[in-house]
Structure 1
């Protein structure tokens, strides 16, 4: 096989010729190596990261970039698994009314709390409303899960012990991907790989219920004016699929006028389908503190989450 290299590789960034040994190493690093069978070998994105390292592998592209979207849309950060390996994986989906936010909302405090308990942790970007409808955001999250499963061996992950966790609008997307099996199946992920779902003060679990109770026009902007679309995008619709839904834990702000009712609607749908759902009413917390306080010393939301997952995922 013949390796092709560019002048930048052969001469370096300043145009200075590199020694032959460096040229060969640079050329090999810049190219895929193809075996006769045609399979491409690529280095794991976690190479060089010791198991349990207290830093993430940042800005991993889980989909190929496209000319019509910013590159940042399809990036994630991953804290690889710590011993014992392979580690179950928590995938965090940020909130922001389906319009704003980014993977930074998956905080180092969250990552450290999960890693201390033996999990790997990833936080993902996805298409916001200006880049496409929420259906595309859900597809992105499913593709991120598929990417992490493909990289499982090199990153110390168990591809069949995955937790989807989200905050606010991100909790809606996490629940939708976990319960509407079409998203995971479309990405080539067996739905049973998602073992549990953790929702932090979720919006949009029953979109029609929200619109009836509040008259909120934001939802019509996000999900369109057609009530049939609201039904299709509501996680409660998909709780009764062909298999029992994964266990769901919902933390709600007790002072929020909407999210407790949304959580109750989903809990009833999950239980009616033969699944398990728990609701924790977090007194003294706020919509944002449920997310940004996660992992803090003595945080009850963190403790309850880890206890819930230990009995169902670990």
Structure 2
């Protein structure tokens, strides 16, 4: 009799354990937590200290250094499968003086939409005024891009299906790099497929500085016309420029007028440039990209046309 009671006791404990485990799994599922163990991607040992994961088992290589300065860092958001994944390379705005790669308006909706579609997302920091000015900031972005491509190659991921994207001052920087890719190639950057500029604030620096303008431009570009020319995407645009999508706010007249003027110049040189004006504010253009909207679909249509990996993942 005692033996039977002991067996019943063990059986009851076993059943309670099963019920508790099922309840925990259901609770995790309800909270959006993956009930299965997170399976980390295979990465080189020297990158392991930078590997993080969130509660959805999405892995991030966080604060990878491409230089010695504290701002010379990138984050790489990894989809489940790296093979065949194209890459979106983000550059934040902030009037060349502030901003960060972690800014929620820059990353969150884009990450949620596109990493889940199998796209690698990289967000980059760069040195800010007064430590660095726009020409040097563009060089930082180039260095970050070269480092990102080398890192993806080490992960056995594609390093030749990049699209550059920047907002505000970041849109100025990616447009400047895109205008004359030879400067990036000189730093061992492999050709990228195209660039998306989200409401760029300085596509025509020469034109801005020759007209009444906010003080933020003086702080960034100074008073030297030769420097203005050096950092003006419209002035620097060459026939080697990659396809360019210019998003502008209908609420900012100067934004759309600059975008259209720049696109006309790009077409005169035989390069591809599109302008899409949207009924959103400067901030909404950044934050809203990635939500289900005609705006997001237009950006995706442009990116799908840049190559088969983008077409397959969007």
Give the TM-score category using the shorter length.
0.7 to 0.9
Shift of 1:108: 2.2
- Looking at structure 2, the residues matched to 107 and 300 of structure 1 have their Cα atoms a distance apart, in angstroms, of 19
- Looking at structure 2, the residues matched to 135 and 146 of structure 1 have their Cα atoms a distance apart, in angstroms, of 17
Counterpart in 2 of 1:54?
58
Shift of 1:84: 6.5
Going from structure 1 to structure 2, the CA distance change for 1:44 and 1:98 (only over 3 Å counts) comes to same
Counterpart in 2 of 1:219?
217
Higher helix share: 2
Going from structure 1 to structure 2, the CA distance change for 1:44 and 1:160 (only over 3 Å counts) comes to same
**Runs of 4+ displaced beyond 6 Å:** 46-49
Q: Secondary structure at the match of 1:194?
A: coil
Shift of 1:42: 5.3
Tell me which of 295, 298, 301 is aligned to 1:304: 298
Map 1:117-132; keep pairs closer than 5 Å. 117-132=117-132
Shift of 1:103: 0.4
Shift of 1:182: 4.5
Shift of 1:169: 0.6
Shift of 1:231: 1.1
Runs of 5+ unmatched residues, structure 1: 1-40
Aligned pair count reads 261
Q: Secondary structure at the match of 1:269?
A: helix
* Equivalent residues of 1:115, 1:121 under 8 A apart: yes
* Equivalent residues of 2:58, 2:78 under 8 A apart: no
Tell me which of 192, 195, 198 is aligned to 1:194: 192
Counterpart in 2 of 1:266?
262
Shift of 1:107: 1.4
Give the root-mean-square deviation of aligned CA atoms: 2.3
1:146 aligns with 2:146: yes
Bigger Rg, structure 1 or 2:
2
Shift of 1:86: 3.1
Q: Secondary structure at the match of 1:250?
A: strand
Q: Secondary structure at the match of 2:158?
A: strand
Deviations 1:138-181 (A, max 9, x none): 11111111111111134453211111100001000011112223
Going from structure 1 to structure 2, the CA distance change for 1:108 and 1:54 (only over 3 Å counts) comes to farther
Map 1:69-218; keep pairs closer than 5 Å. 69=69, 71=70, 73-83=71-81, 85-105=83-103, 106-155=106-155, 157-190=157-190, 193-218=191-216
